[in-house]
Amino acid sequence: MNKTRVNLRENRTPQFQVFSEDQKETIFNGMIRTLEHTGANVHHEEARDLLASNGCRIEGKRAFIPPHLVKKALASLPPVTEVFCWDGDREKKIVIERGRSYFGPGPTPPNFIDIHTLERRPYLKEDARIVSTVVDALPNIDFCESLGTVSDVHPDLAASYEFATMFPNTSKPIVAWSYGWDDSADIHAIAVAEAGGQEAFEKRPNYVHYCEPLSPLVSTFEAVDKVIFAARHGVPVVFTTCALAGGTAPVTAAGIIVQTTAESFLGLVLAQTIRPGLPFFMGGVLSVMDMNAMILTYGAPELCLIMAGATELAHYVGIPLWQTGGCTDSKCLDEQAALEGALSSYFSALSGGDLCHDVGYTESGMTGSIFQTVMMDEAIGYSRRITRGIEVNEDTLATDVIHNVGPDGHYLYEDHTMRHFKTEFWYPTLCDRRNYEEWEAAGAKPMRQRVIDRTHAILGSHTPSAVRPETVEAIRTVMDAAEERIRNNL
């Protein structure tokens, strides 16, 4: 039987593109031009000096980056980066490589949806424990962020407490947010304690550092200080903005991508100058400014499109992308929250946008909801079945099986069915597929109720791994010192 095949080429997964190669080049060239001729304001003297001594033109606060420096920075980026779970779980580690996508919540909303009363209220330290515990349990969430700003501690220590609370409750990598150098150091000390020292940490980093400069083209002191911290300590770093098309960036998708990429690249050049090879992410929260509500929209279809375009540009030049998805402008857990969150999750998965954050953001980023995250865990599972694609081979084509069954037959008894039905199909956890009578008999629950029930079930049953005793001690020491620092500053 002549089944030897040659010249076979397959789509191993579905193929999705927004841009052609020429379009990516056009945008990249535009970005290079912007950095060279427009530059950015860098509100950090040490950074300006560093850039100057490496070939940048500085005029007052404005730094202009020449193209060759951009290329040099890109050339020193690692093609693959791993971020590890501190309990050594190999399956859950994050491998940053073009085409892989990972998902997690986001930082900083001032409010949180109380998991018992369902009320919207200020975010508390206990919520960080709740979020990290649930994140640890969800199969399709890969990294952790707090979904809030802790309000029941000293404001300057919100970030430190947040990390200290989350870290022991999830072994999944945290993308840490902080105000500046001091709390970055608090966070780093805790992570390093668990890793077993700075050297061990650099070999197997267990968290990512998040820095947010300002659009348009403003590298704030804090953001720059933190990227320098990350570079000096070997922490993979995100340096991205939250830009509003039509507000703090051009109203067009191409324009906002050009500008925000330039904003990220300022940090890229700086970071690579200090530490060539430091893993670095561009991207951000890039969406349109709603002209009625005057807010950055987290649910617009344009968000999905712009983020997908940005992902392609990033991968074109060999840099991973900090994506945004699973989020909504809705004020409650409803159809709007589901459809907006699902849409941005899907396109993040389709475009392979490396780390997709803000899964669980509601009310345009003003309120964190772990319910949203739980609901999106299902959506991400769904989209992962799609990005797996369709396998076409002799076995799956099943012509012999079709022959055996024939018209008038069925496939339920076939060996072929037994072999495939568990792996070929995705089985939902939250989406209901019962017939009407069974669903009604079980209480006629809409999805939102099932989401809430599942969240409570996870919290009631999930136990994360345990950190080392040294880490527990380190957390206590670090937080005591942090409190001391605050007292001394008063």
Nearer to other proteins, 169 or 364 (CB): 364
Footprint on residues 114-133 left by other proteins (CB under 8 A): 120
Scan for tokens 């197997």, then name that residue: 204
Q: Which is nearer to other proteins, 98 or 129 (CB)?
A: 98
Cβ-based nearer residue to other proteins, 412 or 490: 412
Pick out residues in 304-343 that bind other proteins (CB under 8 A). 304-306, 308-309, 329-343
Please compute, for residue 246, the number of CA atoms within 13 A of its CA located in the half-sphere on the CB side: 12
In this structure, the strands spanning 94-96 and 81-83 are antiparallel
464: left (phi over 0), alpha (psi -120 to 50) or beta: beta
CB-based contact 189:478 (threshold 8 Å): yes
> Residue 25 and residue 12: Cα distance in Å, rounded?
26
Query: In which region does residue 245 sit, left (phi positive, over 0), alpha (psi from -120 to 50) or beta (all else)?
Result: beta
Give whichever of 124 and 366 is closer to other proteins, judged by the CB atom. 366
Q: Does 45 bind other proteins (CB under 8 A)?
A: no
> In whole angstroms, what is the distance from residue 304 CA to residue 52 CA?
37
Q: Does 466 bind other proteins (CB under 8 A)?
A: no
Q: Which stretch binds other proteins (CB under 8 A): 45-53, 174-182, 297-305, 463-471?
A: 297-305
Q: Please identify which residue in the block is written with the tokens 């620092």.
A: 485
**480 belongs to the binding site for other proteins (CB under 8 A):** no
Can residue 30 be called a binding residue for other proteins (CB under 8 A)? Answer: yes
Rounded least distance, CB 368 to other proteins, Å: 13
Task: Tell me whether residue 430 or residue 481 sits nearer to other proteins (CB atom).
Answer: 430
Q: Write out the binding residues for other proteins, residues 395-434 only, by CB under 8 A.
A: 395-399, 401-403, 405-414, 416-422, 424-427, 430-434
Helix 221-233 × helix 181-195 angle, to 10°: 20
* 477 is a site residue for other proteins (CB under 8 A): no
Task: Closer to other proteins by CB, 119 or 469: give it.
Answer: 119
Contact flag: residue 89 with other proteins (CB under 8 A): no
Distance between CA atoms of residues 478 and 14, nearest Å: 47
Residue type, 94: I
Beta carbon nearer to other proteins, 281 or 382: 382
Residues in CB range of 217: below 8 A, 6 or more apart: 38, 39, 40, 41, 259, 262, 263, 266
How far, in whole angstroms, is CA 26 from its chain's centroid? Answer: 27
β-sheet bridge partners, residue 323: 356
CB atoms within 10 A of CB 49: 11
Q: Which part of the chain contacts other proteins (CB under 8 A), choosing from 126-134, 222-230, 315-323, 441-449?
A: 441-449
Query: For residues 286 and 40, what is the distance between their CA atoms, to the nearest angstrom?
Result: 18
Q: Does 16 sit near other proteins (CB under 8 A)?
A: yes
From the CB of 272, what's the least distance to other proteins, in Å?
Answer: 22
Residue 297 tokens, joined: 């929209």
Residue 252 within binding range of other proteins, rule CB under 8 A:
yes
Distance CA 470, CA 475 (A): 9
Nearer to other proteins, 432 or 484 (CB): 432
Task: Tell me the C-alpha distance between 118 and 281, whole Å.
Answer: 35
261-280 positions binding other proteins, by CB under 8 A: 262
Nearest by Cα to 261 from 30, 4, 26? 30
Q: At its nearest, how many Å lie between other proteins and the CB of residue 17? A: 5
Nearer to other proteins, 10 or 89 (CB): 10
- Residue 93 or 221 with smaller CB distance to other proteins: 221
Of 439, 457, 473, 480, which one interacts with other proteins (CB under 8 A)?
A: 439
Bridge partners of 245, per DSSP, are: 249, 288
Give yes or no for residue 248 binding other proteins (CB under 8 A): yes
When the beta carbons of 337 and 458 are compared against other proteins, the nearer one is: 337
Site for other proteins in 188-227 (CB under 8 A): 214, 216-218
Q: Contact region for other proteins (CB under 8 A) — 64-72, 183-191, 241-249, 272-280? A: 241-249
- Out of 41, 133, 206, 311, the only residue in the binding site for other proteins (CB under 8 A) is 41
User: What is the closest distance, in whole angstroms, from the C-beta atom of residue 429 to other proteins in the complex?
Assistant: 10
- Interface residue with other proteins, options 185, 366, 472, 481 (CB under 8 A): 366
Please report where in the chains the tokens 């396998």 appear, as a residue: 391
Q: Which two tokens stand for residue 462?
A: 């999930």
